[in-house]
């Protein structure tokens, strides 16, 4: 963006110049947006200064009404690998080791805690069985987005996944503070209760979908 005075001469590239005496009066200034022929808009200005990242497609299933807010937020942090797990805290000198609190076999990071940990894997397998799916060993957010299912089915799967991640995260913290680890089957009961409560609010009279039988089966199995 250039600043042009009323005579068409280019002035300083910014209003606050190191030489204010050479600046034309503000009342005689007009602005010309050079990036877009259609003129300046707030959106074009914001797009110019904001950081550009690759757009993901699974966000529509993460931020939907089928999920509770707390699991959504924790799931968002997991997707960004932004949780303060032991691998990072160990690097900062806060912990003496980076061993996983739940299984004690490998270093605790996002990939291990929410996918490869024996404790977490057992819970994920149980919850996936209730949904009649088989979970892979890869990123579950990408798997749900690419899974051959309807949009509604993906929202249900995401709701189950986020609730599972949230309770695994809370159980990890409980183990850190109280040194107590619930059996996977007991934790799954808590997850099923939460998911069933949420799904019950979405099943309204007259709901019509080709996957209604599958949805009822999932709800009844929770």
Write out pLDDT tens, residues 113-126: 999 999 999 999 99
pLDDT computed for residue 110 by the predictor: 95
Q: Are residues 38 and 77 in the same domain?
A: no
Q: Are residues 66 and 45 in the same domain?
A: no
In a domain, 54, yes or no: no
Q: How many domains does the chain have?
A: 2
Q: Are residues 129 and 187 in the same domain?
A: yes
pTM for the full model?
0.74
Please, which residues bridge with residue 107 across strands? Answer: 99
The parent domain of residue 211 ranges over 59-221
Q: Are residues 11 and 74 in the same domain?
A: no
Per-residue H/E/C for 95-132? CCCCECCCCCCCECCHHHHHHHCHHHHHHHHHHHHHCC
**Per-residue model confidence as pLDDT tens digits over 23-82:** 555 444 455 566 566 777 787 777 777 777 677 777 888 898 888 999 999 999 999 899
Task: Using a pLDDT cut of 90, give the percent of the chain over it.
Answer: 41
Q: Are residues 27 and 136 in the same domain?
A: no
Residues 80-104, mean pLDDT to the nearest whole number: 93
Q: Are residues 29 and 108 in the same domain?
A: no
116-to-43, 87, 104, 188, 210 alpha-carbon distances in Å: 42, 15, 12, 17, 34
């Amino acid at each position: 963006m250039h600043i042009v005075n009323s005579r068409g001469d280019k002035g300083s590239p910014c209003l606050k110049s190191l030489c204010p005496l050479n600046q034309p009066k503000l009342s005689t200034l007009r602005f010309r947006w050079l990036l877009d022929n259609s003129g300046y808009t707030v959106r074009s200005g914001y797009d110019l200064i904001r950081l550009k990242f690759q757009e993901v497609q699974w966000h529509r299933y993460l931020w939907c009404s089928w999920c509770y807010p707390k699991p959504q937020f924790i799931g968002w942090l997991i997707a960004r690998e932004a949780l303060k797990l032991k691998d990072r805290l160990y690097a900062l000198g806060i912990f003496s080791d980076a061993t996983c609190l739940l299984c004690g076999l490998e270093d605790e990071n996002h990939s291990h805690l929410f996918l490869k940990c024996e404790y977490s894997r057992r819970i994920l397998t149980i919850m996936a069985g209730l949904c009649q799916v088989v979970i892979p060993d890869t990123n579950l957010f990408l798997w749900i987005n690419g899974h051959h299912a309807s949009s509604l089915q993906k929202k249900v799967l995401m709701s189950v996944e986020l609730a599972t991640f949230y309770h695994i995260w809370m159980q990890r913290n409980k183990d850190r503070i109280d040194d107590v680890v619930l059996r996977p089957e007991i934790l799954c009961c808590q997850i099923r209760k939460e998911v069933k409560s949420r799904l019950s609010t979405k099943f309204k009279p007259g709901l019509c979908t080709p996957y209604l039988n599958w949805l009822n089966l999932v709800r009844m199995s929770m």
